[in-house]
Amino acid sequence: MTTPLKTPLPPTPLKPTVGGMIRETPWTGGPRVKEKRHKQPRTPMCFRPEDYDKSLKIYTKCITGLEAKFKGQGDTEYSLQAFSEDVWKHLVDTGMDSVFYFVDPVDKLEKSIIQHHARFTLKDIKDAVVNFTGDQYDRQNLEWSERFLTGSIATSLQKSISKYSTIDMTGPELWMLIVQETQSNSVRALMSLANELLTMQLSKYPGENVKLCTGDIFAKCERLQNAMKLPEDVGITICNILSKCSVEDFRILFTLKRTELELKPQSVTFTELIILANQKYQSLIDTGDWKPAGAPKEDSILEGLNAKIDQLIQTGGCRDQARQWQRGQRNASGGRGRGRGDQGQGHGRGAKADHSKVTCYNCGKKGHISTNCPDKAAKDKNDDGWKTLPPKNNDPREKIVDGKTWHWCGTCGRWTLSHSTAEHRDKQKNPVATLAVAESESTSFVAPLSLRWGGI
C-alpha cells in the first residue's frame, strides 16, 4: 500500500531583524537598538506581506515621492528642515526608518541621520552601509527609500546630485548627498550661523511677527545642536533677540527672563523659550494688545497726503490753495464743522464745536474764532486807522507794533497777526473746489486724484 504524496507547505517568512511578525506577516520599522525597538507596527504600510497584490500596493506607497518637491539650496518656500520632517514621517509610516539609524561617531549613540544629519558625513554613512549586516527586509528598505527620496526632490537637484551617485546608491547615502548639496556643516559655516543668531532682532521682522522670528531661531538652534555647536548661553541670546521689541509687555517678559538665565544659563532650553514666546504673542494678539510701533495707523493715508501737500508748499506751485485745503482738514479734525456759529459737522443742533485747536485770525491766539475774538471789543480807536490802511507798493508787507509782528492780508483788507495774503483761508464750504480750480490755473501743482474725484 502506497502513502499519498503530501503537498509541501509554503515556507514561513523570516522574522525581520528590526520589526516583528503578526499572523505570520512580517513588519518593519523603528530603532535598531534592542532596548528601543517597536513592539507593534506604526501603520499597515509597515507590513511586508507575501501576497503579490498586497505587496504591490505597499511597494507603490513606499516609493512614491512627496507631493512637494524639494529644490535644495535657495528654496525659501520649502526649507531643508521642513523637507526633513516630511521625509521622516513618510519613512516611519512605511517602516523604512529602520535603515536610517546609525551610531554617532562622537558619542557612540544610535541616531537618525534624517533628524541629526549634521553629526554625520557622507563618508561615515558610506562606510556604515558597506559594513551593514541587515536582513532581506533591511536591503529592501535601503533600495525602496532611495527611490522615494529621488521622487521627492526637484529635477534640478537630481541633476546636481547625479555626478556623485552610483547605480547601487542607497537611501541613506542619497539623503547625505541631498544635505551636502543643500548646506555646509563646516566649522566656518556653523560659526557664521552662530553669528547670524547673535545679530537677530525681533523688531526687524514685519509687524514684529514673533512666530516668523522664532521659526528662524529654532531652525538655527536645531542645526547647531545637531552639529554639537550650540552655545551654552543660547537662552540669553534668544532673550536678547526677543527683547528687541516695541510691545512693552513682551519686552519686559524677556528682559526679566534674560536676567534669570544670566544666573543659570542652562535652566531653560531654547525650545521652551520659543514656546513661551509664541504663547505670549498669541495671548497679546487675542486681547488686542499687540500693537508694535511700526503698525499702520487708520489716518495714515490722510497724513501721507498732507505730507505731499507740505512738499508742494515748499517747492511752490498752488501755495495758497494747498495751504488752504490743508488747514481746513486740520481744523475739521479738531472739531470745527461746516455749519453756522458753534454747530460743528456731525453734531446735533445746539452742540458746540471744539475750538481748542483753532487759531484766531484777529489776535493769533488759540481757543476761539475771529468772530468771537474778545480783543475786538477792546480794540481802541487808534487801531481802526492803521489796521485797515494798506501798504504802498514799495512798502514791506510786515511790520512790528507793540512787539508783535503784523502781516498785511489783501483778501481781508487789513493787518493781521495770523496770516498774510498768500496764507489767507476763505470760509468756504468745499476746499476741494478751490483745489480743482487751482489745478486749471496753475501748471506747477496737480491735485491728487482723490481730490479731483470730490473727496478722500
Give the domain ranges of the chain: 12-183, 187-286
Question: Sign of torsion, CA 197 202 206 211?
Answer: positive
Question: Residue 260 and residue 356: Cα distance in Å, rounded?
Answer: 50
Q: Tell me, what's the pLDDT at 248? A: 92
pTM of this structure:
0.51
* 397-408 pLDDT, tens digit each: 888 887 788 888
Q: Tell me, what's the pLDDT at 410? A: 82
Distance of CA 327 to the CA centre of its chain: 38
Question: Residue 76 and residue 74: Cα distance in Å, rounded?
Answer: 6
Flag the least confident range among 133-137, 151-155, 173-177, 443-447: 443-447
Question: Residue 178 and residue 156: Cα distance in Å, rounded?
Answer: 12
Helix (H, G, I), strand (E, B) or coil at 215: helix
Q: Are the C-beta atoms of 116 and 109 separated by less than 8 Å?
A: no
Higher-scoring residue by pLDDT: 293, 10: 293
**pLDDT, mean of residues 6-17:** 68
Amino acid (one-letter) located at 251: R
| 381 CB-near residues (< 8 Å, 6+ apart) | none
Sequence-ordered alpha helix ranges (H) in 111-167: 122-130, 136-150, 155-162
Question: Residue 421 and residue 419: Cα distance in Å, rounded?
Answer: 7
Residue 48: name the closest of 2, 108, 94, 17 by CA. 94
Question: Residue 396 and residue 421: Cα distance in Å, rounded?
Answer: 13
* 268-289 pLDDT, tens digit each: 899 999 999 999 999 999 999 9
* 297-343 pLDDT, tens digit each: 544 555 556 666 666 555 555 555 555 655 665 555 554 444 444 44
* pLDDT for 434 beyond 50: no
* 36-66 pLDDT, tens digit each: 999 999 999 999 998 999 999 999 999 999 9
Q: How far is CA 346 from CA 338, 355, 407, 433, in A?
A: 9, 15, 34, 21
* pLDDT for 151 beyond 90: yes
Order of all β-strands in the sheet with 404-409: 398-401, 404-409, 414-416
Beta bridge partners, 47, equal: 27
- 340 secondary structure, DSSP code: S
Distance of CA 182 to the CA centre of its chain: 24
Question: Residue 456 and residue 448: Cα distance in Å, rounded?
Answer: 9
Measure the CA dihedral 422/424/428/434, to 10°: 10
Residue 361: all three cell numbers together: 485770525
Higher-scoring residue by pLDDT: 435, 378: 378
Q: Are the C-beta atoms of 416 and 438 separated by less than 8 Å?
A: no
Position 366 confidence tier, pLDDT thresholds 50, 70, 90: confident
* pLDDT for 17 beyond 70: yes
